[in-house]
Amino acid sequence: MPFEARLAALSEAVRGCRKCEHLAAFRTQTVFGVGNPNAELMFVGEAPGADEDKQGEPFVGRAGELLTKIINAMGLTRDDVYIANVLKCRPDMPKGAPGNRPPTPLEMQRCLPYLREQIAIIQPRVLVALGKTAMAGLTGTDESMSAMRGRWFSFENIPLLSTYHPSYLLRNGSNAEKRKVWEDMLLVMEKLGMAISEKQRGFFRSAS
């Protein structure tokens, strides 16, 4: 069965999932994933937020816009990569409460088989975990992001690198923090054998 058909079948299974009744009752729709089913690079976040829940696509809010800029700076587009979350439903919030909450370990454990299957179908050469929660969902680690970023891990024998979530950069957008994320992306580009220009190597070099 072609990649696209396998992903479509898995997406349909996710759409009907009720493993977490509280999430199924709260969600507008499931948020499966988007991008190239033959992607060499796959980004994994923690869970959909309000914007993603409305549109049915991961990383479409402000953090998503920043992720797109990061991908473009690598010389790629969103159509070149694949983007998904550990959780396929937006974590439930009290009625009228603003913002989003992180998924619980149990919620991620229940949903992880779907992500594992996505990764098995796409077979990316490199995985990037966006944020501490996504890394915890993938590996079970409780290390801090400062301790994990810049180090290679492995998920199902695929090289896995963790970096700060784009929302972190929206809150702490100094050149020094941007440079840390960009250094991680340079590691990814090197792992993929991508050409890196001197201009790209110099992005955010001057810390503010």
Does some domain include residue 96? yes
The whole-chain average pLDDT of the chain stands at 94
Does some domain include residue 37? yes
Does the structure show a pLDDT above 80 at 51? yes
- pLDDT band of residue 207 (cuts 50, 70, 90) is very low
Cα 133–90–144 angle (5° rounding)? 10
Q: What is the mean pLDDT of residues 97-102?
A: 89
Does some domain include residue 206? no
Does the structure show a pLDDT above 80 at 101? yes
Measured CA to CA, the distance from residue 78 to residue 65 in angstroms comes to 11
Q: Which domain holds residue 85?
A: 3-201
CATH number at residue 92: 3.40.470.10
Cα 139–140–141 angle (5° rounding)? 90
Count how many domains the chain has.
1
Does some domain include residue 81? yes
User: Are 26 and 92 spatial neighbours (Cβ–Cβ below 8 Å)?
Assistant: yes
Most confident of 17-31, 96-110, 163-177: 17-31
What's residue 208's pLDDT?
A: 45
Which 3 state secondary structure label does DSSP give 22?
A: helix
Measured CA to CA, the distance from residue 191 to residue 193 in angstroms comes to 5
| Residue 32 burial (C-beta neighbours within 10 Å; 0-12, 13-18, 19+) | buried
What's residue 98's pLDDT?
A: 85
Q: Is the dihedral of CA 49, 167, 193, 113 positive or negative?
A: negative
Task: Give the residues across from 158 on adjacent strands.
Answer: 155
Does some domain include residue 208? no
Q: What are the tens digits of pLDDT across the range 157-180?
A: 999 999 999 999 999 878 999 999
Q: What is the mean pLDDT of residues 35-44?
A: 96
Does some domain include residue 98? yes
